Amino acid sequence: MNLIPANQMDMEKVEQFLEKNEGINKSSLVRAGYVVEVSGEIVGCFSLETMEEGIYWLKQLYINQTNASKLPVLLEAILTLAKRQQAKSVYVHSHQPVVDILLEALQFHPQKEKMFVDKYQRDEGNWWLYHVS
């Protein structure tokens, strides 16, 4: 599994991936995102956007159904990437109970009434925070 900055990837491959996976914000992906490549094929993507110095927001996390079992490994790789970028914390907004379970297992902490959560409110789902060490 390779994490490649989307803006360094062959744009034709990225376009083909986006055509198959509607709902992914292309401009955000190209600006702050990465594609997940397995055996030369893009199977997922995510954006790791800087919100404030040292604070990142993991957005648009997607992996295709065939590779869904690799989601825990992908999340670990994203946290390693965030650490290399000298992140202090990574926020995630989850919409799915199974992702909540995975985030909790990876030592993310649920967030309720914190400054970041209030600033970037979402109607549904849960906010999680990971302290990068």
- Could you tell me what percent of the chain has a pLDDT over 70? 92
Tell me what the mean pLDDT of segment 13-32 comes to: 92
**Do residues 127 and 111 touch, judged by C-beta distance below 8 A?**
yes
Number of separate helices (H) and strands (E) present in the chain:
5, 7
- Distance CA(104)–CA(109), nearest Å, equals 7
- Phi and psi at residue 33, in whole multiples of 5°? -115, 175
* pTM for the full predicted model: 0.86
Q: Quick one: pLDDT at residue 133?
A: 78
Q: Which domains does the chain possess?
A: 2-131 (3.40.630.30)
